[in-house]
Amino acid sequence: MEISQTVIIENKLGLHARAATKLAQLAQKFSAEVTIIQADKKANADSVMALLMLASNQGKEVTVNATGDDAEQAVKSICELISNKFDESE
């Protein structure tokens, strides 16, 4: 099963090191293969370095794509994390 959802990065610092680490740790909890897509760039959601290479700033639109058994739950959880500004107080 393949699931995709688009979400906007809303936190001030964007997808910086701490946020990328949180996202990667969350992605690793799922058996689904999760990819984050921004424009023409793709990153494996398990990799902090790959996520940082996207250079996703505040206001950027990213698509969370997952393939596998728990793809739906993976996409939902990761989109929630991004929408909640990575649980940062700012």
Distances (CA, A) of 36 to 46, 64, 72: 10, 5, 14
Annotated catalytic residue within 5, 10, 13, 16: 16
Q: List, for residues 8-66, the tens digit of each pLDDT value.
A: 999 999 999 999 999 999 999 999 999 999 999 999 999 999 999 999 999 999 999 99
Q: Is the pLDDT of residue 90 over 90?
A: no
Measured over the CA atoms of residue 67, residue 43, residue 28 and residue 64, the dihedral's sign is negative
Query: Going by DSSP bridges, is the β-strand pair 33-38/61-67 parallel, antiparallel, or unpaired?
Result: antiparallel
Return the CA Rg of the chain. Answer: 11
The structural domains of the chain, with segments of one domain joined by +, span 2-87
Question: Is 16 among the catalytic positions?
Answer: yes
CATH of 2-87, one of 1.10.287.130, 3.90.870.10, 3.30.1340.10, 3.40.50.970: 3.30.1340.10
pTM of the model: 0.95
